[in-house]
């Protein structure tokens, strides 16, 4: 079987990663220069070593003990197997053509990768975890051209018997407080809700005590009501307030 060698320079030209190129070039290195890898390898082959006998070694096909340069083709089938099991597999595969062995080896590697991925916890497979609460806000005083510090903020969620509050709804007891905070010198509020991966879909209300911030203004407070749909629970919602004494606006940011 023809020996396949991987040159570090060739891998580097392909992938552009120096570290990956070095690791690829080390594949098949014997003995391994990595102490951790050597320990893992020894553990994987411990079953075969414990069950090996002189008679068993004598039954290896002619020339089998000289396949060291192609050992990478057979290494996957040795992990956790006894000497007798390995001997039987070698007898079945030794006469295979190189292309057949490459296909078998790739299938064995795929089994290992699949088993590793299935063993990972669900959160470890997530592409990106949240680094901030799902709903955030900030306030800008557009009349002064600066952040509005010291404004009290409340975030609530609708928990009424109906999925949505009706226009003109007066029963405030159906709004449940998620959290409250006060804007800092950058106009940003603190954490208004728990750091969860998936939001509960529904209607939310974020309110600002603008009357306390600007007693001479037109708005004693401002409330913004918005809906998060089932398909949006993994998204981030930034709901800012652009405030002046006689007007305000908002938008959905990210």
pLDDT, mean of residues 13-23: 69
- The pLDDT value given to residue 125: 47
The percentage of residues in the chain with a pLDDT greater than 90, rounded to a whole number, is 37
Residue 249, phi then psi, degrees to nearest 5: -150, 165
- The pLDDT value given to residue 149: 96
| 37-58 pLDDT, tens digit each | 566 556 655 655 565 666 555 5
List C-alpha distances in Å: 198 to 132, 136, 192, 234, 235.
Answer: 12, 15, 15, 5, 8
Which residues are CB-neighbours of 238 under 8 A, at least 6 positions away? 135, 136, 137, 138, 252, 253, 254
Residue 33, phi then psi, degrees to nearest 5: -85, -10
Q: Are residues 140 and 234 both part of a single domain?
A: yes
Three-state SS letters, 131-178: CCCCEECEEEECCCCEECCCCEEEEEEECCCCCCCCCCCCCHHHEEEE
pTM above 0.85, yes or no: no
Read off the pLDDT band of 63 (50, 70, 90). Answer: very low
Number of domains in the chain: 2
Q: Are residues 239 and 147 both part of a single domain?
A: yes
Whether residue 214 lies inside any domain: the answer is: yes
At residue 162, does pLDDT exceed 90? Answer: no
Structural domain containing residue 191: 135-250
Residue 153, phi then psi, degrees to nearest 5: -130, 140
pLDDT, mean of residues 187-203: 91
Binding site for substrate: what residues are annotated?
138, 188, 251
What is the DSSP secondary-structure string of 206-224? Answer: EEE-HHHH-TTSS-S-EEE
Q: Are residues 159 and 241 both part of a single domain?
A: yes
The tally of CA atoms less than 13 A away on the side-chain side of residue 186 is 4
Last residue of a domain, one of 125, 158, 179: 125
pLDDT, mean of residues 69-96: 66
Instruction: Report how far apart the first and last C-alpha atoms of the chain are (Å, whole number).
Output: 57
- The pLDDT value given to residue 242: 96
Q: Are residues 93 and 143 both part of a single domain?
A: no
Binding site: what residues are annotated?
138, 188, 251
The tally of CA atoms less than 13 A away on the side-chain side of residue 243 is 30
- Name the strands in the sheet holding 241-244, side by side, starting at the edge strand that comes first in the sequence: 146-147, 139-141, 241-244, 247-250
Q: If we measure between CA atoms, which residue out of 94, 195, 221 comes closest to residue 136?
A: 195
Q: Are residues 109 and 199 both part of a single domain?
A: no
Q: Are residues 114 and 140 both part of a single domain?
A: no
- Domain at 145, CATH number: 2.60.40.180
| 107-145 pLDDT, tens digit each | 777 776 677 767 666 554 454 677 888 999 999 999 999
- The pLDDT value given to residue 1: 45
- The pLDDT value given to residue 73: 53
Mean pLDDT of the chain: 77
Read off the pLDDT band of 69 (50, 70, 90). Answer: very low
Cα 156 to chain centroid distance, Å, stands at 29
Q: Are residues 195 and 107 both part of a single domain?
A: no
At residue 102, does pLDDT exceed 50? Answer: yes
CA distance 154 to 189: 10
Prior bond of 31 cis (ω within 30°)? yes
Lowest mean pLDDT among 95-99, 158-162, 207-211, 213-217: 95-99
- The pLDDT value given to residue 142: 95
- The pLDDT value given to residue 172: 60
At residue 209, does pLDDT exceed 90? Answer: yes
Which residues are CB-neighbours of 114 under 8 A, at least 6 positions away? none
Question: Torsion angle, CA of 169/173/174/176, rounded to 10 degrees?
Answer: 130
CA distance 110 to 105: 9
Q: Are residues 121 and 144 both part of a single domain?
A: no
């Amino acid at each position: 079987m023809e020996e396949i060698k991987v040159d570090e320079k060739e891998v580097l030209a392909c992938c552009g990663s120096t570290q990956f190129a070095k690791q690829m070039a080390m594949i098949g290195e014997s003995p391994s220069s990595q102490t951790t890898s050597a320990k893992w390898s020894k553990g994987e082959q411990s079953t075969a070593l414990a069950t090996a006998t002189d008679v068993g070694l004598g039954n290896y096909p002619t020339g089998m003990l000289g396949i060291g340069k192609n050992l990478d083709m057979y290494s996957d089938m040795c992990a956790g197997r006894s000497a007798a099991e390995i001997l039987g597999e070698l007898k079945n595969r030794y006469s295979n053509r190189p292309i057949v062995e490459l296909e078998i080896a790739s299938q064995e590697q795929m089994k290992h990768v699949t088993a590793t991925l299935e063993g990972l916890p669900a959160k470890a497979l997530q592409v990106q975890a949240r680094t901030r609460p799902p709903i955030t806000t900030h306030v800008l005083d557009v009349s002064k051209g600066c952040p509005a510090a010291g404004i009290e903020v409340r975030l609530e969620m609708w928990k009424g018997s109906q999925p949505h509050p009706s226009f003109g709804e007066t029963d405030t007891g159906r709004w449940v407080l998620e959290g409250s905070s006060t804007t800092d010198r950058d106009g940003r509020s603190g954490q208004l809700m728990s750091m969860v991966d998936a939001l509960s879909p529904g209607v939310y209300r974020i309110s600002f005590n603008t009357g306390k911030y600007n007693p001479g203004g037109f708005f004693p407070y401002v409330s913004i009501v918005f809906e998060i749909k089932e398909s949006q629970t993994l998204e981030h919602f930034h709901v800012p307030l652009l405030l002046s004494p006689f007007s305000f606006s908002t938008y959905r940011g990210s």
